[in-house]
Structure 1
Amino acid sequence: MRSSRRVPPHSGAPALRSFDAVVPVGSGILLPLVLIVGISLTDWLSGPQTYLAPLMIMAPALAGVSTTWRRTLGIGVAGLVAQLALLPYDEVRLPDSGTLLWSQLIAYAVGSLFAAYMAWHYEQSRRVFAAVHSVAEAAQRALLLPPGPEVGDLRLAVRYVSAADTAKIGGDLYTVVETPHGVRALIGDVRGKGLDAVQTASVTLGSFREAAYDEEALTRVAQRVDASVARHMAPGEFTTALFLQFNDPGQVGLLHYGHVPPLRVATDGTVTSLDPPDPWVPLGLSQFATGAPPRPWQETLGADDVLVLCTDGVIEARSAVDGSFYPLAERAGVLAAASADNLEAAVERLYADLLRHTGGSLSDDALLMLVARS
């Protein structure tokens, strides 16, 4: 007999709001200009016996890492003008301090030119990175073929974040397709990260999309995907997966291959973990398992219920404070209850809460998908 773990709803829990990630704005030319003005005023207020102009070199150095190379040159010129303007006030005379003064001005000019060169080099690097990022994101979109907000009689909302955040690609996978046998879905997690994981995800998704249309039984769909993954994966690698089928009103069929059990969130906030009665090994490892392959099992999914699917990057995300795992089963009742009509807001709340738990960053690929009946 299967036992579904029920998590009581949180009564009296404070309402949680989603938050917008605050991205630090580049200092640009503002801070270098403030620095020039500050040094000039400090020099002037300190009296003619204090000569602080050499500190101006900090302005182009700061501009070199915060703005374009042209603006960096402009900051360098502004700093040079400020230094020359301070010479009469600071009683710096060429006959007395000519060698030292010229040495200081030449060093300032060389430093400004070097800062401009570094700014130019950084601009070129950003252009290359932007091109690579664009190609990688396009490849990820082509691979996943993200479904729309509605597929058949289902509504969807997804948040996917790759640990390889510089390329936005990873090994988590999902798809939802409408077939002659009903709406079918797959969510999975490839062991590993990077391009190897993407290749395995491509094989998994491609074989599922083909089999989902061809095979009437969900068991046969999973077996074909399992065989394809086993042929293409390196020894010892695997992919956890959960197959779903929505063809009966108020019901959902599930087939487990080592993946995180889904959660059903009722309108009153009660969360039920839909544990498999017949757990099975991940895709690619069936040849090492004994016994008959797993069979699908049925669960109820009411019109106002929300099905929460995720990968282990969500439930294994650690707190920045005490290192504890993210308690999805506890948080889902607060953040996703009675949200069948607005799944996008619910998944945003869950994702924001996940980031708050981890301190703003994730160390593994993470995928959240919410599903409800139209």
Structure 2
Amino acid sequence: MKRAWSRFIGVLQRMEGLYLSRMGISLPLAVIGLVVLSDLLAGRDHYLTPGIVVAPSLAAITVKWRGTLLVCLLGAGVQGALAPYDGAVDIPDHDVIFGQLFAYGIVSVFSVYISWRRETGARAFTAITSVAEAAQQALMQTPAPRVGSVRLAVRYVSAADAAQIGGDLYSVLETPHGVRALIGDVRGKGLAAVQTSAVVLGAFREAAYDEGGLDCVAERIDLSVRRHVTTGDFITALFAQFDRPDSVELLHYGHVAPLRVSPDGSVETLDPADPWVPLGLADMVAGGPTSWRAPLLPGDVLVLCTDGVIEARSPVDHSFYPLAERVGPLVAGSAPELDAAVERVYADLLRHAGGSLSDDVVLLLLAPVPHRLVGAA
């Protein structure tokens, strides 16, 4: 029930951001004016003022409760003023006019209540969103546009209702071992997925500084997941380490393969040499994954994402978003301006998906700073 009410409030908020909210109180007032004009033009033989009952209903979804109450009182006053003109008070049997007033009163009471409930719900929705934003900042710790020797840009979107955090995660840190990045996707939903994300990110932020190799970083995170995550969730993940100016070290745990976009727009999928199971499942197989190196030339951009990107479906033909086919011209030559590039990719993704996404999304673009600029401010 709470989830349904949250969705209802979200729909109303989106409506308020469109036509109805822009009309505001003018829409119900226009209805009152239209009914009054129609009644006067129709003459005394036609009793059209009961149509004013539409005005409170419209006010309930376009203005706050005080405005709705004002519309209700104004509508009642107009009906009372027109009653002598229409001859309603001259009818010997007053059941008609009493019935009209009773119906109008009931509609008015419910309209004011709906408007009040919508207003308080919207405030609660806004408060939840604000808390979610603060939680996202605390959990994700959005990095600066440049971390050490790497420029970056990120777009994080949660598909959860009334929230801005979910099961997708990322982190980019400057460590004694170079700039280390993590992107992951929790195979779970709701609060449990957020808690699992917190475990993974907390373990990464500690291990990234302490451990000498990416494999050791991943082992510590996997141990933390098995120790602290009791829901059975597992996490696909991809680790990256920028410790050389001409290459990046990658370590794969069942995640979407990264893409390398050259300045000329050509795209290469960096498939892992040794694909591995997700974090949290490593105890089910023997051994461990092997990292591999991929060259990075000046101007190259490394594109990391979660499966919410490549699994976004078109409402027209239900096809998946072809990231590898479309990211080239959107990112090519953008190494100095990654923020604009990530917004172009996200906008293209939304267009493909028909304007809305059904899963969490992380788009992370990384580009090493040219060696001569590493020490520059």
Using the size of structure 2 for normalisation, the TM-score is: 0.89
- Find the counterpart in structure 1 of residue 300 from structure 2: 305
2:182/2:239 contact within 8 Å kept? yes
Rounded Cα–Cα distance in structure 1 between residues aligned with 2:253 and 2:112: 56
Q: Give yes or no for the alignment of 1:280 onto 2:276.
A: yes
Say if 2:333 is the partner of 1:338.
Answer: yes
CA distance in 2, matches of 1:94, 1:167: 59
Q: Any conservation in 1 of the 2:309–2:349 contact (CA below 8 Å)?
A: yes
Structure whose residues are more often helix by fraction: 2
After superposition, give the CA deviation of every residue in 1:66-119 in whole Å (9 maximum; x if it has no partner).
211100011112222332343344343334453322331233133213211221
Aligned length: 352
Corresponding residue for residue 360 of structure 1: 355
Aligned partner of 2:137 among 141, 152, 159: 141
Deviations 1:288-343 (A, max 9, x none): 123x3112111122221111110001100111111110111111012111111211
Query: 64, 71, 79: which is aligned to 1:68?
Result: 64
Q: Is the 8 A contact 1:64 1:119 kept in 2?
A: yes
Partner of residue 18, structure 2: 24
Secondary structure in 2 matching 1:370: strand
Deviation track 1:138-173 (CA, whole Å, cap 9, x = no partner) reads 222211111111111211111111121312220100
Q: CA deviation at 1:235?
A: 6.4
Structure 1: gaps (5+ residues): 1-21
Partner of 1:168: 164
Contact persistence 1:169–1:194 (CA under 8 A): no
Identity of aligned residues (%): 58
Q: Does 1:295 align with 2:290?
A: yes
Equivalent positions of 1:97-246 (< 5 A) are: 98-234=94-230, 236-246=232-242
Q: Deviations over 1:37-62 (max 9, x none)?
A: 22222223333322121111111111
Matched, 1:52 2:62: no
Shift of 1:175: 0.3
SS in 2 for 1:112: helix
Q: Is the 8 A contact 1:33 1:59 kept in 2?
A: yes
SS of 2:293 mapped into structure 1: strand
Partners of 1:242 and 1:255 within 8 A in 2: yes
Q: Secondary structure at the match of 2:182?
A: strand
| Cα offset, 1:229, TM superposition | 1.2
SS of 1:261 mapped into structure 2: coil
Contact 1:305 1:340 in 2 (8 A): yes
Alignment of 1:72-83 (within 5 A): 72-83=68-79
Instruction: Tell me how far apart the structure 2 counterparts of residues 61 and 93 of structure 1 sit (CA, whole Å).
Output: 26
Q: Distance in 2 between matches of 1:152 and 1:97?
A: 86
Matched letter for residue 24 of structure 1 = L
Using CA pairs under 8 Å that are at least 6 residues apart, name the structure with larger relative contact order, 1 or 2.
1
- Cα distance in structure 1, aligned partners of 2:47 and 2:328: 65
* Residue 122 of structure 1: how far off its partner (Å): 2.1
Matched, 1:320 2:315: yes
Contact map agreement 1:170 1:197 (CA 8 A) in 2: yes
Q: CA 1:167–1:340 in structure 2 vs 1: closer, same or farther (change >3 Å)?
A: same
- AA paired with 1:188? G
What is the TM-score with the length of structure 1 in the denominator? Answer: 0.89
The AA in structure 2 aligned to 1:60 is: P
Distance change >3 Å, CA 23–CA 336, structure 1 → 2 = farther
Q: Which amino acid aligns with 2:29?
A: L
Unmatched 5+ stretches in structure 2: 1-15, 370-377
Is 1:94–1:101's contact at 8 Å kept on the other side of the alignment? no
Report the 3-state secondary structure (helix = DSSP H, G, I; strand = E; otherwise coil) of the residue aligned with 2:88.
coil
3-state SS, counterpart of residue 174 of structure 1: strand
CA RMSD of aligned residues (A): 1.8
C-alpha displacement of 1:23: 4.4
Question: What displacement does 1:370 show?
Answer: 1.0
Could you say if the C-alpha distance between residues 156 and 165 of structure 1 is closer, same or farther in structure 2, counting changes exceeding 3 Å? farther
